[in-house]
């Protein structure tokens, strides 16, 4: 009995003393944090992907609060949560959310095993970065996908996967949060974080080759040879050719698909369009839609294609509003 | 890995010579069980497609575990030891290269603590049978007794150094013949499988420390016999030199070896167990990451501050 | 026997072509002159399509900053100035010349006659350096660092020892070995010229013990003509890779260790020049011959005649392979350079450049890397690393993208010798990973540096 009593007393008093120390330490070393940071962090997805450019969701929440104190949330976007989350954040901070359009990762290389013959075999560490340092990779194209899957390893959301048949990564558009981790991981900057487009429809040049046409053609049967045909056919000045590579500006593109038909190399691809009707009808059907979506032409600013992958979010209102109009029509 | 296995062949032959059938059964069971558990765990629990049993590490663990057991140990105990060695000592941490403790020693110490009676009744060498063999006290037990009672005359019952060198003494399978272990060790040094740092620092430390004790009080055994007895030689040459659990740099290895030597002598002379090698190695295995962090190789062109 | 103090490995030497004398390779039908044959800024082409060029005509002038000019090694017509695949595995700017005849620029002395210091009269140190610069000479051991820059010690430093790198520690390669056997006096004159250029009294020629004939020849020559070549000493070295590394060689020969970057060899008073460079310096200064040809070893276990060629720069590799008996059927990998530090070539149209020391044809069996297995923490890479680094740790940090950890553990000191990957029993691609880390950390350091400048 005595033994039990002693044990209870001793343990109890140790517990009390420890509790007291903890209490005092908690008081003494308490860190006063803006409580809004915690609230903002609460509504963030908590993936800590770093897609926003800050170290984790905590860092982003802190940046939001700081920006709110300065009066604007401009330039801050959680790519994973997108617009709904940013609205919640804005609510907490008593601000108005900036509008933003959803984006998605696009792999701008279509050099499958068939279209891009292997001229060498890479036997080193299976990493795109290592391969990139050692030359043009397994094919003659110094700009195309290296196929070791650095992007797959970088993706936190299990969205991007290598297709063993084509040797290229494929993005699951439904799940992609456009955090940009894959884009940063790619040593060749092939993956672009691009506007999803209305109804998820996009027209993209699936090539990253800045080689001259003849060289590109030698290396790959579906590479952009910078023939300028797409530029000529585009009515909206959405296509520019820079450094031997065509680029379609997603904000200017009206999804008419003319360039896709024109491209002699089949390097331009249209995503998520319904299956095509016979050609003449398709063109006729699209015609009335085109003027409806027209907006005041922005001054055509030529941007180097290579840097497009990291172009910041512009004013996307033009894309959202026409969508509504089109749906009504 | 296979190089180490080859280096163990002389000791294997010695154990077969001294313990006959018992030795064969214990070693075969131990190796087979280790390989089986490695295969089963990688295949069914970790679900890895690539099997690792061909890299030789499981075979080596099995051999070393077997060498640490007495020749009359029941098969079921050996299997438990193999399960602990591979399952807990190695695969829990992710398999080859990631285990912090030497798997064979984890298995051995587990058995030593769980089955102290079976693990410490060593058959006298020279008997070919497996069960019902005559057992006797080992040199280590005699030494411990001498220290406890303070009676130096007990030490005269020890076998001669020559007998201990060749293996005419009781003990675990692999530890009886210091000579064969030394041959194996030389082979490994020649093939550059190991470097001299660990064995030399362990043996040197033990020799010096045991010699010091012997000079102060003759009831402590003479240093030569201390080195030749028990698992010291096996431990210094084969267990402590395990790549995975020993430090990376020469300097670090010497620190590690000296510490093992000191701990072994302390446990042997002042601890409750007659043998301290396994414990000393396991303790220092725990310190290896710390040594790796703080003992860096000398960088080229580094200026002394 | 002298050698460097930390780490090192000893790969099988395989000096198959050591006994085959230097052969003059045929002039190619078409020669390609990359503008990227050296470290630093690329040369800028000064010719255009259709221009007639002669042997020794300037094709590309030195770019801004660290750079050297490029000269034609053939005569003919420029067929294009465009990006061409070179030994780096990427397409880069080059001048392509269609060969017609073999006409040389008049100012080049084509005779074989030995020109000594006495013949040169009292040539100034400045003139020597200028001639070297004008000849477009770079380090010919493979690093291709502009030689003229090396011979102008920055203020506050003084060259106390010239070290001639005749180690040739890479297995298979024998170009330097043959050069020493066939042009010993020219090399000694070259050494004198360097001594003269940087005003340094002492020069050492470091040769590994696997070239006893070269050691004997040079030692005898120096004994015989001691008065003519004062202050030059042959230092035999123990065979160990990577002794040909600049820092390792300085340690081995004069026992001084160059501190971590950004320190340079000159900070410990040493200037290291490859023996091929020394010969090029001799030719440039005494014969006014720009760097238009070099000795290249074409070798491999299945090659019919492992040979050493005196090849014009710009010659396609395919031609050299043909001259060495054709490509063996079992070739698996073709390496430009030696087996330890060389790079696999993407194509055989790749031309010989100023830094091409060898062409190694590996058999299919040799060229396969073993399958990598987990690191067993054996520490072999740590003891092999000649820079005293911990390759296993750096590779692990790289995998975790912990660039801070890499920087703290001195990844920038890595000389990319490959001893770690060579010695690894688990066949881990250590060097591949460390290269990534080194490149990334260098980028981070540079960015930090730029930031601190803009802040100021």
Closest CA to C214 of C242, C235, C245: C235
Residue C80 pLDDT more than 70? Answer: yes
Task: Kindly list the partner chains of chain A, i.e. chains with 3 or more CB atom pairs below 8 Å.
Answer: C
Question: Which residues in chain A are contacts of C91 at CB distance < 8 A?
Answer: 136, 142, 211, 215
How far, in Å, CA of A279 to CA of C129, rounded?
71
Classify burial at A193, counting beta carbons within 10 Å of its beta carbon; exposed 0-12, middle 13-18, buried 19 or more.
buried
pLDDT for position B129: 67
The set of residues, in sequence order, having a beta carbon less than 8 Å from that of C227 and lying 6+ positions away, is: none
Within a domain: residue A304?
no
Does A211 sit within 8 Å of C433, measured CB to CB? no
| CA dist., res. C240 & res. C170, Å (int) | 9
CATH number of domain containing A213: 3.30.70.20
**How far apart, in Å, are the Cα atoms of A167 and each of A145, A147, A163, A205, C219?**
8, 6, 5, 18, 59
What pLDDT is recorded for position A322? Answer: 38
Query: Is C83's Cβ below 8 Å from some Cβ in A?
Result: yes
Chains B–C, number of C-beta pairs less than 8 Å apart = 74
The predicted pLDDT at position A34 comes to 78
* Same domain, residue pair A85 and A197: no
Contact between C63 and C42 under an 8 Å Cβ cutoff? The reply is: yes
Q: Which residue has the higher pLDDT, C399 or A297?
A: C399
DSSP-assigned letters across all residues of B170-211: -S-TTTS-HHHHHHHHHHHHHTTSS-SHHHHHHHHHHHHHHH
Rounded distance, CA A174 to CA A200, Å? 10
- Residue A300 resides in a domain: no
Q: What is the mean pLDDT of residues C402-424?
A: 92
Residue of B nearest to C263 (CA): B301
Predicted pLDDT of residue C176: 94
End-to-end CA separation in angstroms for chain A = 88
Residue A8 lies in a domain: no
Q: Are C32 and C20 in contact (CB under 8 A)?
A: no
What are the structure tokens assigned to B59, written together? 């075979």
DSSP secondary structure string for all residues of C386-418? TT---HHHHHHHHHTT-HHHHHHTTGGG-----
pLDDT score at A285: 46
Q: Are A205 and A224 in contact (CB under 8 A)?
A: yes
pLDDT for res C51: 92
d(CA B160, CA B224): 10
Task: Delimit the domains of chain C by residue range.
Answer: 23-107+293-365, 117-287, 380-455
Of the listed ranges C193-197, C314-318, C345-349, the one predicted with least confidence:
C345-349
Within 13 Å of residue A226, how many CA atoms lie on the same side as its CB?
A: 16
| Whether pTM exceeds 0.90 | no
Note whether C379 contacts B243, CB cutoff 8 Å: yes
Q: Looking at chain C from residue 122 to 161, which residues have their Cβ under 8 Å from any Cβ of chain B? A: none
Residue among C248, C252, C258, C377 with most chain B CBs within 10 A, to mutate: C377
Q: Which of these ranges, A78-92, C240-254, C354-368, has the smallest mean pLDDT?
A: A78-92
CB C136, CB C181: distance < 8 Å:
no
Query: What's the total number of domains in chain A?
Result: 2
Smallest CA–CA distance, residue B12 to chain C, in Å, is: 24
Q: Give every CB contact of residue C436 below 8 A, 6+ residues apart in sequence.
A: A127, A129, A130, A133, C398
Interatomic CA distance for residues C420 and C397, integer angstroms: 16
- C442's tokens: 């260098």
Q: Do B300 and C388 touch (CB under 8 A)?
A: yes
ipTM of the shown complex: 0.85
> Is chain B in touch with chain A: ≥3 Cβ pairs within 8 A?
no
Model confidence at C322, pLDDT cuts 50, 70, 90, reads very high
The percent of residues in chain C predicted with pLDDT above 70, rounded, is 100
Q: What is the pLDDT of residue A279?
A: 52
* Among B68-82, B139-153, C199-213, C423-437, the least confident range: B139-153
A→C contacts (Cβ < 8 Å), by residue, are 119-120, 123-125, 127, 129-130, 133-136, 140, 142, 211-212, 215
* φ and ψ of A146, to 5 deg: -90, -20
Contact C91 A134 (CB under 8 A): no
Whether B249 and B193 have beta carbons less than 8 Å apart is answered as: no
Which residue, among A155, A153, A201, has the nearest Cα to A177 in the 3D structure?
A: A155
- CB contact B295 to C (< 8 Å): no
Tell me what pLDDT residue C141 has: 84
Neighbouring chains of C at 3+ CB pairs under 8 Å are A, B
The arithmetic mean of pLDDT across residues C86-108, rounded, is 88
Name the residue in chain C with its Cα closest to that of B195: C380
> What are the chain B neighbours of C263 within 8 Å (beta carbons)?
301
In chain B, domain spans: 2-119, 137-294
C6, C379, C388 ranked by CB distance to B248: nearest: C379
Using 50 as the pLDDT threshold, list the residues of chain A that sit under it. 281-329
How far apart are alpha carbons B179 and B8 in whole angstroms? 12
Closest chain B residue to the Cα of C410, Cα to Cα: B299
Pairing outcome for strands C22-24 and C307-312: parallel
| CATH of region C117-287 | 3.40.50.11540
Chain B from 122 to 161: CB within 8 A of any C CB: none
pLDDT at position B304 is 52
Q: C388 at the B interface (CB within 8 A)?
A: yes
Q: Is B48 on the interface with C (CB under 8 A)?
A: no
Distance CA A217, CA A38 (A): 55
Distances (CA, A) of A134 to A16, A66, B237, C352: 64, 44, 43, 18
Boundary of a domain, candidates A49, A75, A93: A93
Tally Cβ neighbours within 10 Å of residue B50: 8
Q: Domain check: are A137 and A188 in the same one? A: yes
Beta strands in chain B (DSSP E): 122-123, 135-136
When CB atoms are compared, the residue of B98, B245, B299 closest to C389 is B299
The answer to whether residues A125 and A267 belong to one domain is yes
- Chains A–C, number of C-beta pairs less than 8 Å apart: 47
A329 in any annotated domain? no
pLDDT of res. A1: 67
Q: Is C439 part of the contact surface with chain A (CB cutoff 8 Å)?
A: yes
Q: Note down the domain range covering A60.
A: 37-93
Chain C: give the shortest CA distance to residue A133, in Å: 8
Q: How confident is the model at residue B131, as a pLDDT? A: 66
Give me the residue from A119, A130, A212 closest to C346, CB to CB. A119
Cα–Cα distance for residue pair A11/C323, rounded to 1 Å: 89
Q: Are residues A87 and A168 in the same domain?
A: no
A155 occurs within a structural domain: yes
How far, in Å, are B82, C13, C117 from residue C192 at the CA level? Answer: 70, 31, 8
Give Rg (Cα) of chain C.
Answer: 22
CA atoms of C160 and C192, how far apart (whole Å): 14
- Is residue C347 less than 8 Å (CB to CB) from chain A? yes
Q: Which of B244, B300, B302 sits opposite C377 (nearest CB)?
A: B244
Among C377, C379, C389, the residue with its CB nearest the CB of B97 is: C377
Poorest-pLDDT segment among B279-288, C257-266, C272-281, C289-298: C257-266
Whether C307 and C21 have beta carbons less than 8 Å apart is answered as no
Residue A200 per-residue DSSP state: G
Partner-chain residue, chosen from A119, A130, A135, that has the shortest CB–CB distance to C436: A130
> What residues of chain B lie within 8 A of the CB of C419, using their CB?
none
Return the percentage of chain C with pLDDT > 90, whole number. 67
Same domain, A208 and A82: no
| Chain C residues close to B244, C-beta within 8 Å | 376-377
Q: Are residues A242 and A111 in the same domain?
A: yes
Chains near B, with 3+ CB pairs < 8 A? C
Give me the tens of pLDDT residue by residue for chain B, a chain 305 residues long.
788 889 999 888 888 888 888 889 999 999 999 999 999 998 888 887 777 778 888 999 999 999 989 888 899 999 999 999 999 999 999 888 889 999 999 999 999 999 988 888 777 776 666 666 677 777 787 788 788 777 777 777 777 777 777 777 777 887 778 888 999 999 999 988 899 999 999 999 999 999 999 998 888 888 888 888 878 889 999 999 999 999 999 999 999 999 999 999 999 888 888 888 999 999 999 999 999 999 988 888 876 54
Q: Which residue of C has its CA nearest to B52?
A: C373
Instruction: Check CB contact of B305 with chain C, cutoff 8 Å.
Output: no
What residues in A contact C346, CB-CB < 8 Å? 119-120, 135-136, 140
Tell me how far apart the alpha carbons of residues C6 and B296 are, in angstroms, rounded to a whole number: 13
Q: Do C258 and B298 touch (CB under 8 A)?
A: no
Are A172 and A216 in the same domain?
yes
């Amino acid at each position: 009995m005595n033994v039990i009593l002693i044990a209870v007393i001793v343990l109890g008093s140790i517990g009390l003393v420890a509790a007291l120390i903890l209490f005092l330490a908690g008081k003494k070393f308490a860190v006063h944090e803006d409580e809004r940071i915690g609230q903002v962090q609460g509504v963030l997805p908590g993936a800590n992907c770093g897609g926003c450019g800050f170290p984790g969701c905590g860092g982003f929440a802190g940046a939001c609060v700081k920006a709110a104190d300065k009066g604007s949330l401009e330039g801050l976007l959680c790519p994973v949560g997108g617009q709904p989350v940013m609205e919640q954040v804005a609510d907490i901070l008593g601000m108005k959310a900036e509008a933003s359009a959803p984006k998605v990762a696009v792999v701008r290389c279509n050099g499958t095993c068939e279209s891009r013959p292997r001229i060498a075999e890479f036997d080193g560490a299976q990493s795109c970065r290592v391969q990139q340092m050692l030359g043009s990779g397994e094919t003659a194209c110094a700009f195309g996908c290296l196929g070791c899957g650095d992007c797959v390893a970088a993706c936190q959301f299990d969205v991007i996967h290598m297709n063993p048949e084509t040797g290229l990564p494929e993005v699951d558009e439904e799940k992609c949060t456009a955090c940009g981790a894959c884009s940063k991981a790619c040593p060749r900057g092939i993956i672009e974080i691009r506007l999803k487009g209305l109804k998820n429809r996009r027209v993209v040049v699936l090539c990253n080759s800045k080689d001259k046409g003849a060289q590109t053609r030698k290396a790959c049967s579906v590479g952009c040879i910078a023939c300028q045909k797409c530029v000529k056919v585009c009515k909206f000045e959405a296509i520019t050719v820079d450094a031997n590579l065509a680029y379609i500006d997603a904000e200017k593109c009206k999804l008419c698909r003319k360039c896709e038909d024109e491209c002699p190399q089949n390097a331009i691809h249209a995503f998520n369009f319904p299956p095509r009707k016979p050609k003449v009808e398709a063109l006729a059907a699209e015609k009335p839609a085109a003027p409806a979506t027209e907006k005041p032409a922005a001054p055509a600013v030529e941007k180097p294609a290579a840097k497009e992958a990291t172009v910041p979010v512009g004013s996307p209102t033009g894309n959202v509003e026409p969508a509504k109009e089109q749906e009504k029509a | 890995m296979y190089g180490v296995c080859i280096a163990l062949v002389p000791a294997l032959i010695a154990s077969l010579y001294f313990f006959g059938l018992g030795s064969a059964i214990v070693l075969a069971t131990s190796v087979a069980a280790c390989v089986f558990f490695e295969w089963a765990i990688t295949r069914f629990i970790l679900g890895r497609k690539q099997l690792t049993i061909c890299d030789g590490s499981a075979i080596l663990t099995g051999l070393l575990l077997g060498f640490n057991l007495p020749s009359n140990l029941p098969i079921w105990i050996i299997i438990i030891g193999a399960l602990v060695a591979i399952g807990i000592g190695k695969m829990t941490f992710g398999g080859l290269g990631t285990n912090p403790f030497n798997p064979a020693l984890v298995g051995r110490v587990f058995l030593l603590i769980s089955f102290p009676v079976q693990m410490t009744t060593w058959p006298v060498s020279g008997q070919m049978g497996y069960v019902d063999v005559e057992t006797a006290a080992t040199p280590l037990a005699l030494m411990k007794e001498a220290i406890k009672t303070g009676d130096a005359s007990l030490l005269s019952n020890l076998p001669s150094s020559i007998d201990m060198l060749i293996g005419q003494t009781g003990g675990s399978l692999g530890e009886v013949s210091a000579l064969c272990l030394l041959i194996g060790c030389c082979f490994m040094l020649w093939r550059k499988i190991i470097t001299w740092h660990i064995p030399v620092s362990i043996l040197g430390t033990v020799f010096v420390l045991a010699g010091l004790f012997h000079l102060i009080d003759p009831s402590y055994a003479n240093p030569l016999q201390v080195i030749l007895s028990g698992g010291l030689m096996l431990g210094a040459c084969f267990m402590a030199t395990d790549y995975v659990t020993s430090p990376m740099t020469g300097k670090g290895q010497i620190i590690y070896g000296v510490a093992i030597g000191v701990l072994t002598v302390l446990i042997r002379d002042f601890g409750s167990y007659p043998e301290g090698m396994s414990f000393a190695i396991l303790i220092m295995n725990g310190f290896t990451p710390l040594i790796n962090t703080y003992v860096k190789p000398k960088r080229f062109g580094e200026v002394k501050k | 026997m002298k050698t460097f103090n930390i780490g090192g490995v000893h790969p099988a030497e395989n000096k198959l072509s050591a006994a085959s004398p230097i052969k003059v390779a045929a002039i190619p039908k078409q020669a390609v002159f990359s503008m990227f044959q050296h470290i630093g800024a690329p040369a800028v082409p000064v010719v255009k399509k259709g221009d007639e060029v002669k042997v020794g005509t300037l094709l590309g002038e030195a770019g801004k900053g660290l750079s050297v000019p490029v000269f034609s090694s053939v005569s003919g017509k420029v067929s294009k100035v465009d990006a061409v695949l070179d030994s780096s595995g990427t397409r880069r700017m080059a001048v392509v010349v269609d060969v017609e005849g073999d006409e040389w620029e008049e100012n080049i002395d084509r005779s074989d006659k030995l020109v000594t210091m006495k013949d040169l009269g009292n040539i100034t140190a400045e003139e020597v350096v200028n001639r070297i610069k004008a000849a477009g000479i770079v380090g010919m051991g493979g690093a291709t660092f502009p030689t003229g820059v090396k011979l102008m010690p920055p203020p506050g430093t003084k060259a106390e020892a010239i070290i001639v790198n005749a180690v040739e520690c890479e297995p298979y390669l024998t170009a330097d070995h043959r050069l020493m056997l066939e042009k010993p006096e020219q090399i000694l004159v070259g050494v004198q010229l360097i001594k003269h250029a940087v005003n340094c009294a002492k020069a050492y020629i470091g040769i590994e013990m696997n070239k006893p004939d070269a050691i004997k020849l040079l030692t005898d020559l120096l004994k015989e003509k001691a008065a003519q070549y004062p202050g030059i000493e042959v230092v035999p070295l123990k065979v160990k890779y990577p002794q040909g590394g600049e820092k390792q060689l300085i340690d081995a020969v004069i026992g001084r260790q160059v501190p971590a970057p950004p320190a340079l060899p000159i900070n410990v008073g040493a200037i290291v020049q490859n023996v091929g460079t020394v010969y090029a310096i001799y030719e440039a200064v005494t014969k006014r011959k720009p760097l238009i040809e070099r000795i290249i070893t074409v070798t491999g276990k299945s090659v019919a005649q492992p040979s050493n060629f005196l090849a014009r720069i710009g010659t396609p590799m395919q031609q050299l392979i043909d001259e060495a008996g054709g490509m063996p059927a079992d070739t698996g990998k073709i390496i430009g350079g030696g087996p330890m530090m060389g790079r696999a070539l993407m194509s055989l149209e790749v031309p010989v450049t100023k830094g091409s020391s060898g062409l190694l044809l590996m058999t299919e069996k040799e060229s396969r890397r073993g399958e990598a297995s987990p690191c067993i923490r054996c520490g072999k890479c740590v003891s092999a690393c000649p820079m005293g680094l911990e390759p296993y740790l750096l590779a692990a940090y790289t995998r975790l993208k912990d660039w801070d950890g890499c920087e703290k553990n001195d990844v920038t000191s890595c000389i990319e010798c490959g001893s770690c990957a060579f010695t690894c029993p688990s066949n881990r691609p250590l060097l591949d990973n460390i290269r990534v880390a080194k490149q990334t950390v260098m980028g981070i350091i540079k960015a930090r540096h730029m930031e601190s400048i803009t802040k100021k």
